């Protein structure tokens, strides 16, 4: 009976978060406002920073290292990989301090703490939507846009589900392992270069390419690139695999967070 009650209770907790969407949206707006408060450019930094990274990577990997993509402009192919990756990496970097950065909410206020990492993911979803919107607009203006770009919401949904599961897990671990905030930067750097963000998956030896594409970040980058610029839709098999990875990560991350949350106040 206990084993049956635990999943039922977990599902109830998850549905409870969905019913608190107004609080989630309010906290997301607060998160977005706090990022640019007091800065000279304000929210324009959300555009300036990625465009600077795009220009830098285009110079290094296109002009210096001579990396080539199969079809389309190099900058658009690069942006198709960078836009999802930047939203993902920024969320995970911030997730490690999502709980420890709000000690008053942990100790003194009855607050659904799972909303804190969720609000960071939702804020990243805004950045991701803007980034993909710019990609679609630029591809349309240059005649490189394909109808398969309609798959972008599906790819984006799988990315956000996977990201949310990891964010919950990292937010919890960050309470107990304070070194995690420093270590996650190293992990993300390695993860980026092990994913076809700044180079095409075709550069990976064919013998390893199938296993390589199980990497969710590789799927987001190549899936976005192919859907928008190459006219190639994700295969049903790959969609099923990535949906399973995202679902398992989401459920495990949420289960771990809810299991450990009662110890947060004792540690912070």
Note the pTM of the prediction, 2 decimals.
0.90
Kindly report the number of other CB atoms within 10 A of residue 142's CB atom: 13
pLDDT above 50: residue 151: yes
Rounded CA-CA distance 152/159 in Å is 10
61-70 residue pLDDT tens: 877 877 888 7
Q: Above pLDDT 90, what percent of the chain?
A: 55
pLDDT class of 40 with cuts at 50, 70, 90: confident
pLDDT-derived band at 106, boundaries 50, 70, 90: confident
pLDDT category of residue 2 using cuts at 50, 70 and 90: very low
Q: What angle do CA 71, 198, 184 make, to 5 degrees?
A: 150
Compute the distance between CA of residue 229 and CA of residue 15 in angstroms, rounded to an integer: 38
Extended strands (E) in the chain: none
Q: How far apart are CA 227 and CA 140, in angstroms?
A: 13
Which one is predicted more confidently, 1 or 161? 161
CA distance 221 to 199: 10
Backbone CA torsion sign across 10, 11, 15, 16: negative
CB 259 within 8 A of CB 173: no
């Amino acid at each position: 009976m206990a084993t049956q009650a635990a999943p039922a209770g977990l599902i109830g907790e998850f549905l409870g978060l969905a019913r608190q969407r107004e609080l989630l949206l309010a906290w997301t707006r607060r998160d977005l406002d706090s990022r640019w408060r007091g800065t000279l450019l304000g929210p324009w930094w959300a555009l300036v920073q990625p465009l600077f990274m795009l220009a830098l990577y285009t110079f290094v990997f296109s002009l210096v290292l001579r990396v080539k993509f199969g079809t389309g402009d190099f900058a658009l192919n690069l942006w198709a990989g960078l836009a999802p990756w930047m939203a993902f990496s920024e969320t995970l970097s911030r997730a490690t301090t999502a709980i420890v950065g709000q000690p008053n909410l942990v100790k003194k206020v009855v607050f659904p703490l799972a909303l804190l990492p969720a609000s960071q993911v939702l804020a990243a979803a805004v950045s991701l939507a803007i980034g993909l919107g710019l990609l679609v607009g630029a591809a349309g203006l240059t005649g490189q846009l394909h109808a398969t770009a309609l798959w972008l919401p599906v790819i984006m949904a799988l990315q956000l589900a996977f990201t949310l599961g990891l964010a919950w897990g990292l937010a919890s671990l960050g309470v107990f392992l304070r070194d995690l905030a420093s270590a996650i930067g190293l992990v993300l750097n390695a993860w980026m270069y092990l994913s076809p963000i700044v180079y095409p998956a075709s550069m990976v030896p064919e013998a390893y390419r199938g296993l390589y594409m199980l990497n969710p970040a590789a799927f987001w980058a190549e899936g976005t690139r192919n859907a928008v610029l190459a006219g190639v839709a994700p295969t049903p098999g790959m969609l099923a695999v990535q949906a399973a990875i995202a679902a398992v990560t989401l459920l495990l991350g949420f289960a771990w967070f809810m299991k450990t949350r009662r110890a947060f106040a004792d540690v912070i």
